[in-house]
Amino acid sequence: MKKIINDPATIVADALRGMALAHPGLLRITDDPAVIARADAPVRGKVAIVSGGGSGHEPLHGGFVGPGMLDAACPGAVFTSPTPDQVQAAVTQVDGGEGVLLLVKNYTGDVLNFETAAELVAADGIDVRTVVIDDDVAVRDSTWTAGRRGVGGTVLLEKIVGAAAESGADLDTCERLARAVVGNVRSMGIALTAPTVPHVGEPSFTLAENEMEVGIGIHGEPGRSREPLADADAIVAALLDPILDDLPFAQESRVLLFTNSMGGTPLLELYLAHGIAERMLAERGITVERRLVGPFITSLEMQGMSLTLLRLDDELTALWDAPVHTAALRWGA
């Protein structure tokens, strides 16, 4: 294992200290329990948006904390759900009096711990709602979930709902929009290599030089199948076809296309794949109106990529375009 670390046991705490120093004025990071909050939280009169999950997927979730997106994120240990006391602390720190919406990826530990925290803060009189995202079309059930996994669509969910909350939308509206995104977003990923969790010290699985895992999860969970390594056209088709078959996306659909690196795939390859995906969508009469390309929900250093499609309407498009200022996403601000 080759990593730039001191002690695997303290890697998350060490990284959070560096993150706080890198983004003064934007983020306020506390420990015991670890919470990443926007520096001006709580914002009075605003619905607070809170998310979180295991570390190792950066910039998700902490990189999306700031005006126009999340009010707080709860970073768990690497590939490990945040604890209920973390989520409770995050809600307490950022509640501005208009309620709190929890955005949760569909992993068993995440769902259980966020629901436990929601019960605790509700007992304190805070109006808290929970929306679970399950956009992965690869498998119905996986190693860590009952039902589909929450993956790349989480980034789009946090941006759109965060923009609504920033504009002054109430809790009911934010919840409605979150459920609209969940209902209209689908994702699928592929791996060429495995990630190495620092405290484990060896790859999560083994792939031969001529193999790829189709439908991989963001923790190295098994996918749909293990296939011979193919060229970029075939890889993009293997990701895009199941997405288009699932919703489905009709001709003349307007979409946001998110082409994501799992951490180890360079932008040279990612842009190549994105171009192929745009061409394939155009051939089906689907219009790509908005785009996001880059490593925004990763699996440590895994080589691989995912595609996410969100079906757009005017409301979702306007919220995507709204200003955002976070460590990982910034425009219009």
What residues are labeled active site?
Answer: 57, 219
**Measured between alpha carbons, how far is residue 254 from residues 38, 188, 279, 307 in Å?**
32, 19, 14, 16
Query: Using CA atoms in the order 6, 218, 66, 176, what is the torsion angle rounded to 10 degrees?
Result: -160
DSSP-assigned letter for residue 140: S
Contact 333, 66 (CB under 8 A): no
Contact 262, 302 (CB under 8 A): yes
DSSP strand pairing (185-191 vs 211-214): antiparallel
Contact 119, 75 (CB under 8 A): no
**Partner residues linked to 101 by β-bridges:** 49, 129
Q: How far apart are CA 74 and CA 190, in angstroms?
A: 27
DSSP strand pairing (254-261 vs 287-294): parallel
Burial 97-112 (b: 16+ CB within 10 A, else e): ebbbbbbbbbbebbbe
φ, ψ for residue 214, nearest 5 deg: -95, 125
The tokens for 208 are 């031969």
Q: How far apart are CA 229 and CA 232, in angstroms?
A: 10
Q: How far apart are CA 41 and CA 228, in angstroms?
A: 49
